[in-house]
């Protein structure tokens, strides 16, 4: 008959007469841990899961080179054409740019790698290299999920700020890319500017954002330089990256996004090169073919960035999505999506490039059982594959159409499980436990409860959920039969009533508001006064 850890601890406490009750011990386990003993943390090494064999990687690479040499890209803007021809691309009579394999291979060889994505607070800096894993948000959801009413409503600027400040305090969500569009701000300039403002004011973690057109980048850069204490400071530690959909699959440039890319490179902002073809719609239905197209498209973006500024930090953002081929609708929570994302991680490692892709995009409309298995499977496979930056991993529903604040809190627990899986099992003389087994069996009481090894590993080896239910049935009944969603709702309300980040000083915010006038829409009172 099995017993719970609390029951086991109670027995040990009774025998050893140690002070403190069950709640005190639970509070001790919930207390923040020093970084060096935390069981999970940002940047754990993945790479154990490999859906593609070594020969598969080489064949995909050859297919990519063939596609780039023979098919190429359409719809390049003049400045893009000039930059790419200058480094060796060719422009055909059909208006398509094509890329010799020597250009592709030279770009991959010389591209930036092993760089840092900075936070405003240096403790949130992320070293992007090898198979180090980081989970974060992303998206352009147009709805917020109201779980208490079981309704969707249009997302607003306040929701973005609220999401940022919730993420700011969640250990297992390592960066914050804007997850929603503020539907209450129709003007594109005001939308872009306020989205970024809400993000950088809401969290000191690294922020990702997008811009509609090139002209909208300049005021954003001016704001970022002010927050950083000067342009030179921002360029040394850029705490914002640009999520850039420079490509319209299949194999066409997105003209406005290309202008944004050029402005961001010039301004010192790292670029997430994002290709988001949908398998069976704007990319091949064959999973391997969808990977080929995504890799080809992102490599063109990498050539583009390096033609503008050699060595500029750029993320290999292969984001092929999945269609439900019965309806044509996107299926972000599917098993095929999990495979695609893991395969893209392998291709990033094949090129030794910093990779970013998407997981956790539940098809389910609410944080329910379906959302749990969709998010858990796709996120853990992405982490085990060693993907450097896992976007969309928390909060997302309805295949990117809905975002849920309560899900951020639930998913933070789920990502802790994923990270613990990524960390794997340590095998050493100590963990093999030969001496411990001998001590317990020959000298001790015949069990490992209260043994110094058990107590020593209790917090450093094991992950404990913050809102997940591990009560015994008796405790659960005594506590009023809570479920994870009710606990997440309570925690969300607590955070939003009390957490108002102050990493940007009030005096600096005053200068921003004086400088940009009516362009800032987020009222001061909604930021804690």
Say how far apart CA 446 and CA 425 lie, in whole Å.
25
| Integer-rounded Cα radius of gyration of the chain | 24
State the burial class of residue 473 (Cβ atoms within 10 Å of its Cβ: 0-12, 13-18, 19+).
Answer: exposed
φ and ψ at 211, to 5 degrees?
Answer: -130, 145
pLDDT value at position 19? 40
CB 212 within 8 A of CB 203: no
Residue from 286, 279, 281 nearest 318 by CA: 279
User: Could you tell me the pLDDT band of residue 328, with boundaries at 50, 70 and 90?
Assistant: confident
124 falls within a domain? yes
More confident residue, 33 or 392: 392
Three-state secondary-structure class, residue 486: helix
Q: How many CB atoms lie within 10 A of CB 12?
A: 17
524 falls within a domain? no
CB 417 within 8 A of CB 385: no
140 falls within a domain? yes
96 falls within a domain? no
Of the chain, the end-to-end C-alpha distance in Å amounts to: 55
pLDDT value at position 412? 97
153 falls within a domain? yes
481 falls within a domain? no
Q: Which domain holds residue 379?
A: 107-423
* pLDDT tens track for 315-326: 999 999 998 888
Instruction: Identify whether 196 is preceded by a cis peptide bond (ω within 30 of 0).
Output: no
* pLDDT tens track for 42-61: 888 898 999 999 999 999 99
pLDDT value at position 24? 58
* pLDDT tens track for 466-506: 999 999 999 999 999 999 999 999 999 999 999 999 999 99
User: Could you tell me the pLDDT band of residue 459, with boundaries at 50, 70 and 90?
Assistant: confident
The single-letter DSSP state of residue 6 is H
Burial annotation 179-199 (CB, 10 A radius, 16+ → b, else e): bbbbbebeeebbbbbbbbbbb
Mean pLDDT, range 346-367, rounded to an integer: 97
Instruction: Quote the number of domains for the chain.
Output: 1
Mean pLDDT, range 334-360, rounded to an integer: 97
Q: Provide the CATH number for the domain around residue 294.
A: 3.20.20.480
Residue from 283, 396, 403, 418 nearest 344 by CA: 283
Residue 13 has pLDDT above 70, yes or no: no
pLDDT value at position 5? 43
pLDDT value at position 44? 87
Residue from 329, 466, 356, 446 nearest 129 by CA: 356
75 falls within a domain? no
pLDDT value at position 22? 57
pLDDT value at position 39? 86
152 falls within a domain? yes
């Amino acid at each position: 008959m099995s017993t719970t850890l609390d029951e086991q601890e109670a027995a040990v406490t009774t025998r050893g007469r140690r002070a403190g009750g069950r709640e005190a011990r639970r509070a001790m386990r919930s207390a923040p841990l020093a970084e060096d003993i935390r069981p999970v943390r940002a940047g754990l090494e993945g790479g154990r899961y490999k859906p593609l064999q070594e020969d598969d990687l080489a064949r995909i690479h050859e297919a990519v080179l063939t596609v780039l040499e023979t098919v190429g890209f359409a719809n390049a803007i003049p400045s893009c054409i000039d930059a790419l021809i200058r480094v060796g691309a060719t422009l055909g009579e059909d208006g398509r740019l094509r890329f010799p394999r020597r250009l592709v291979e030279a770009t991959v060889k010389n591209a930036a790698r092993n760089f840092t994505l900075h936070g405003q607070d240096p403790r949130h800096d992320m070293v992007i290299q090898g198979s180090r894993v980081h989970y974060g948000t992303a998206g352009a959801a147009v709805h917020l999920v109201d779980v208490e009413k079981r309704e969707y409503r249009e997302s607003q600027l306040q929701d973005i700020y609220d999401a940022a400040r919730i993420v700011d305090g969640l250990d297992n969500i390592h960066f914050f890319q804007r997850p929603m569009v503020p539907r209450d701000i129709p003007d594109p300039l005001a939308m872009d500017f306020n989205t970024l403002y809400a993000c950088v004011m809401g969290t000191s973690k690294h922020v990702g954002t997008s811009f509609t057109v090139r002209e909208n980048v300049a005021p954003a850069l001016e704001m970022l330089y002010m927050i950083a204490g000067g342009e030179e400071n921002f360029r040394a530690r850029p705490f914002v990256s640009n999520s850039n959909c420079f490509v319209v699959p299949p194999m066409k440039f997105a003209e406005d996004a290309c202008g944004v890319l050029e402005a961001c490179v010039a301004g010192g902002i790292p670029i997430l090169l994002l290709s988001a073809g949908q398998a069976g719609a704007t990319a091949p239905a064959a999973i391997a073919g969808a990977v080929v197209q995504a890799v080809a498209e992102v490599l063109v973006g990498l050539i583009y960035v390096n033609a503008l500024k050699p060595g500029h930090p750029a993320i290999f953002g292969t984001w092929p999505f999945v269609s439900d081929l019965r309806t044509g609708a996107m299926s972000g929570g599917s098993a095929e999506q999990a495979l695609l994302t893991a395969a893209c991680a392998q291709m990033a490692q094949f090129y030794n490039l910093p990779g970013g892709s998407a997981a956790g995009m539940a098809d389910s409309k609410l944080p329910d059982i379906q959302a749990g298995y969709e998010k858990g499977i796709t996120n853990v496979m992405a982490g085990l594959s060693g993907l450097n930056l896992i976007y969309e991993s928390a909060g997302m529903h309805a295949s990117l159409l809905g975002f849920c604040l309560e899900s951020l809190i639930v998913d933070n627990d789920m990502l802790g499980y994923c990270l613990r899986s990524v960390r794997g099992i340590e095998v050493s003389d100590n963990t093999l436990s030969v001496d411990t087994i001998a001590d317990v069996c020959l000298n001790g009481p015949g069990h490992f409860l209260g043994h110094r090894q058990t107590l020593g590993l209790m917090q450093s080896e094991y992950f404990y959920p913050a809102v997940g239910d591990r009560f015994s049935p008796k405790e659960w009944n005594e506590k009023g039969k809570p479920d994870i969603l009710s606990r997440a709702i309570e925690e969300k309300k607590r955070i939003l009533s009390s957490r108002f980040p102050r990493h940007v000083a009030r005096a600096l915010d005053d200068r921003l508001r004086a400088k940009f006038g009516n362009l800032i829409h987020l009222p001061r009172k909604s930021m804690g006064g």
